[in-house]
Structures are given as C-alpha cells and as structure tokens.
C-alpha cells in the first residue's frame, strides 16, 4: 500500500510539473513578440518624423519665397515711383543709363545680359540715390525755393547690406534689378510702352519670364491677371 501511495504521489507530481515546464518553455515568446513590436514602432516613428520634417521644410521654403516676392515687389514699385519723380522733374526725360538690350537688336545671351544688368543697375542707383529730401517743404506742392533748400539724401538708406551696398541694388536672390525705358517682347511688356523695373527672380535668368517680377504688376489678387498680360 505504501508503495502504491508513493507511486500515485510521484505520478501526480509529474502531472503538475509538466504544465509548469511547458509554461517555462513558452515564457520567452512574449518577450520576443514585444521586441518585434517595438522595432516596428521605431520604424513607424522614424517615418512619421521624416514626413513631418519634409512638410516643415517645404513650408519654410514657401514662406521664404513669399517673403522674397513681397520685398522685391516693394523695391520695384519704389524704384518706379522714384523714376517717375525724376521724369517729372526733368520734363519727362529719362536718365541716360546703360541699355540692357538696344532697340531693334538681337537679344544677347544670358551671360552678356548679366554683365549689362550690373552696369544698368549701377547707373540707376547713382542717379536716383541723390534725390532731394522735400520732407521739410512748407506746402504739399513744393516751390523752387523748397527745392533749392532741400537736402540731397540717399533714398535707399536703411536697406540691408544684402540688398544695397551703395553701388548696386539687388533683389533678395542677389540679382541686380534692371531698368527698362520701354517694353520688349522678350523681357517685359509694360502697359502703354511705359518704363519699368524688373527682377529675374529666383532662377536668376532675365530671359525666363515665368518667374520674373515687374514693377507694373500689382500685388495680391491681381498677380494672375498681370502675369497673363506679360
């Protein structure tokens, strides 16, 4: 009887020990599954960060481009107003500046235009920077005495050095802004064959008009219409 009872206890212990051994053998499996899930999570997180970073870079480029466009248009319109003031003071005569493209002549290559643009820009800056300061005039319509008493001033003072170095006036992309006394089919078509200023834009090429900016364009909602009128 004792032998039978001992055998029964041993068999019972074996039955209870077998599931324990099974659980002990299977215990590492959840850890392995957990490591695999964490790796997937890691790669998903990296992918999301890459996408977000790409969107942020694209947004920053758009904001920078829009800011450069606005600043360039303001410069172009300011130059056009100064040139109009010069013409009004000189019986409608425009100043003698280096011509970007001579009338009735073939358009030179882009490299030649770049060199001519620098001379054109330097001439314009030299002439317009000495405009008279009429801020102290006694009336809204200054008299000859007001003009004689006015002080010459640098009308471009206050612009950052990246745009104006007292010799050249550049757009935010580093291109010299060019003065055109009249329209040209390859460079710009101002309404009424009026003079205008223009920037070659971010591609820095004067002959590619798709991204050129013009002083006769209006900002805001009229941009599309003015672009179609080029």
Q: What is the pLDDT of residues 9-21, one digit of tens each?
A: 666 665 655 555 5
Global pTM reads: 0.66
> What per-residue confidence (pLDDT) applies to 149?
46
- Written as six digits, the tokens of 90 are 């000189």
Give percent helix, percent strand, percent coil of the chain, each to the nearest 5.
55, 10, 40
The stretches of 28-143 forming alpha helices (DSSP H) are 28-89, 110-128
Cβ-based neighbour number of residue 75 at 10 Å: 23
CB 79 within 8 Å of CB 214: no
Q: What pLDDT was estimated at residue 209?
A: 87
Q: Could you tell me which of 69, 99, 111 has the C-alpha nearest to residue 211?
A: 69
Distance of CA 222 to the CA centre of its chain: 19
Do the Cβ atoms of 83 and 180 come closer than 8 Å? no
Maximal C-alpha separation, the chain: 139
- For 191-214, how does the pLDDT look when each residue is reduced to its tens digit (9 = 90+)? 988 999 999 999 999 998 889 999
Q: What is the pLDDT of residues 73-109, one digit of tens each?
A: 999 999 999 999 999 989 999 999 999 987 777 888 8
Handedness of CA 26, 28, 32, 34 (dihedral sign): positive
């Amino acid at each position: 009887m004792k032998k039978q009872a001992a055998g029964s206890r041993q068999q019972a212990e074996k039955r209870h020990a077998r599931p324990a051994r099974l659980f002990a053998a299977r215990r590492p499996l959840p850890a392995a599954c957990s490591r695999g899930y964490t790796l997937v999570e890691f790669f998903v997180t990296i992918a999301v960060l890459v996408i977000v970073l790409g969107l942020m870079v694209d947004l920053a480029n758009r904001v920078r481009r829009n800011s450069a466009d606005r600043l360039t248009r303001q410069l172009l319109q300011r130059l056009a107003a100064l040139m109009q003031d010069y013409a009004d003071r000189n019986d409608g005569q425009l100043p003698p500046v280096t011509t970007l493209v001579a009338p009735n002549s073939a358009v030179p290559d882009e490299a030649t235009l770049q060199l001519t643009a620098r001379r054109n820009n330097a001439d314009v800056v030299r002439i317009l920077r000495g405009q008279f300061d009429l801020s102290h005039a006694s009336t809204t319509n200054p008299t000859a005495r007001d003009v004689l008493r006015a002080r010459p001033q640098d009308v471009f003072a206050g612009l950052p050095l990246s745009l104006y170095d007292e010799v050249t006036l550049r757009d935010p992309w580093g291109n010299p802004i060019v003065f055109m006394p009249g329209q040209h089919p390859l460079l710009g078509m101002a309404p009424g064959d009026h003079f205008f200023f223009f920037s070659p834009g971010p591609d820095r090429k004067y002959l590619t008009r798709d991204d050129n900016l013009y002083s006769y364009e209006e900002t805001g909602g009229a941009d599309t219409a003015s672009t179609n009128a080029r």
